[in-house]
Structure 1
Amino acid sequence: MNLTSRTGDVRRGTVGPLLGRAAAAEWGELWAAVGGRLARRRLAAVPLALTATLLVLLFDLVQQLPGGAGFVERVGVVRAGLPLELELLRTPLSLFVPALDLPVWGALAQVLVVFAVAEIVLGRPLALFVAYAGTVAGTLYARVAVDVGPGGFLGLPATDALVRDAGPSAAVVALAICAAWRARAWFTGAAVVALMGTEAAVLPNLAGLEHLAAIAAAVLIAALGEVFGGYWSRVLALARAATETVRTASGAAAR
């Protein structure tokens, strides 16, 4: 593409490098971390993402079988009208129960890609925690919103107490936000927030509002990690150094 300068000169090939620099600034750190790990370890680098994807596929296959929908309902489907303890008991598996009215390939692709990126960028334990926290945030929001009712702020009608929760999508949204924050991919994170906000505004249903709750949980986790993450790593480093010093001193005294 050609761009004409103020002097009237035609400068060729300026848009490509600009876009390349913008992409490198936005995704360079993310690509280096993810691409490097996958190049070294292949699929062994993302066991959490593979397990999550297989569980989504398994639950989808089971709920298509005769009697399978009832089984999935009992072990992994969460609704705001259920007792709280039952909701929380089912929530870990609800991460992997796909919606019945949406094509499962979309859920599989989202879970595989976003879980894999988050697993590498955040680390496996934190990625699992963020996925669970995003799902729990959506679940608890739905209960409160139904109690508030449609007349209150972000309230929901009583009929939504019978609607299935967002399933793996709430976890995917939370992971996308935290991974983008960690990799400093600010425009990508903002795009996810804008997309979910638009969805909730245009289609104000339970799933869309649960996604906003998952975003709020993810932003809180990312902000806390920003504030306290370095502090705890320094504390652990000091503790390890102190332990090593004591062990060395003890060994010298024993000799």
Structure 2
Amino acid sequence: MRTLARWARAEWGLLYVTVRDPLLKHRWRVTPMTLTVVCLTALLQFVQNRPWGYQIVQETGAVRAQDPLGLALLRTPLSLFVPALDLPVWGALAQILFVFGIAEVCLGWWRTLAIAYVATLAGTLFARLGIALGAHAPFGLPWTDAQVVDTGPSAAVVGLAVYVSWRYGAYVTAGAVTMSMVVEVLLKENLAGKEHLAALMGVGTLCLLAAVRHRHQWPPWRRQWRSGRRTGRGSGLPPIQS
């Protein structure tokens, strides 16, 4: 039990402290963008399930590989918040609240949105490439997938989860999320699964660029964490009981 507790402290300690302090002090006032995104996603789900609203959402926020690229890029910002019709919306809202909320506290609202859009755009562009390659290519997709609506918030959620985990030293968590997406594709080879992998590749590129930028020194967030442990300030977590 103590070994598991030590592992949890090492894996999530820095992330826990980073998120805990602002939330304790300001509550949900530190995540205005996340709350806005949750409300917008819920609103779009309500609208697209109404006879008068389905076509509105389709024309403004549904992206398919068969659409002209310019039109798809115009719809991409809103497509991030359009939940899948065949999945429970409460699951999507819970994922957004949890992952976007943590990311907003750790990264700020504009970096969170930027990374979310990189992940979503990577999936959107991959769908076009995969269909161009064809179903028999290693990373190809059948032509019928050109008519399937791209993944909504899920690609952004996956990308943000991996980026925040990597940045704050939760490498096992980042690897576990990545492996779960690989398993998803192996078990159920569909457009959404492959778009999730493309989103991870896009976010992985951001991680690589950040690592190169800090190649001569520990990133500040890691250096402060290590310094705090050496000087005895601790992580702010409850002590491990014997």
Q: TM-score, normalised by structure 1?
A: 0.83
Alignment of 1:103-252 (within 5 A): 103-228=88-213
Please tell me whether residue 91 in structure 1 is matched to residue 90 in structure 2.
no
Aligned-residue offset at 1:91? 0.1
The residue number in structure 2 matching 1:79 is 64
Moved more, 31-40 or 221-230: 221-230
State the Cα RMSD in Å. 1.4
- Secondary structure of 2:113's counterpart equals helix
8 Å Cα contact 1:131/1:175 also seen in 2 = yes
Whether the 8 Å CA contact 1:96–1:168 is kept in 2: the answer is yes
Post-superposition shift, 1:226? 2.2
Mapped to 2, the partners of 1:63 and 1:159 lie a distance apart of 23
Q: Identity rate of aligned residues, in percent?
A: 49
Contact 1:121/1:182, CA 8 A, preserved across alignment = no
Answer with 1 or 2: which has the greater Rg.
Answer: 1
Distance 1:175 1:60 in 2: 22
1:228, 1:47 → 2: CA distance?
30
Residues 18-48 of structure 1 deviation map (CA, whole Å, 9 limit, x = unaligned)? 1111100001001100111111111111112
- Spell out, residue by residue over 1:83-132, the C-alpha distance to the aligned partner (whole angstroms, 9 max, x if none): 00000000000000000000000000001100011112222221111000
1:51 maps onto 2:36 in alignment:
yes
Partner of 1:245: none
Unaligned ranges ≥5, structure 1: 1-15, 232-255
Say whether the 8 Å CA contact 1:122–1:182 is kept in structure 2.
no
Q: Quick one: which amino acid aligns to residue 80 of structure 2?
A: L
Distance of 2:96 and 2:125 partners within structure 1: 22
Say if 1:62 and 1:69, in contact at 8 Å, map to a contact too: yes
TM-score, reference length from structure 2 = 0.87
Q: Distance in 1 between matches of 2:181 and 2:32?
A: 28
Cα distance in 1, alignment partners of residues 46 and 181 from structure 2: 28
**Structure 2 alignment gaps of length 5 or more:** 217-242
Contact 1:57 1:108 in 2 (8 A): yes
Higher relative contact order (CA 8 A, sep 6+): 2
The alpha-carbon deviation at position 183 of structure 1 amounts to 0.7
Counterpart of 1:205, as a letter, is N
**Equivalent residue number for residue 224 of structure 2:** none
Identify which of 18, 39, 59 aligns with 1:33: 18
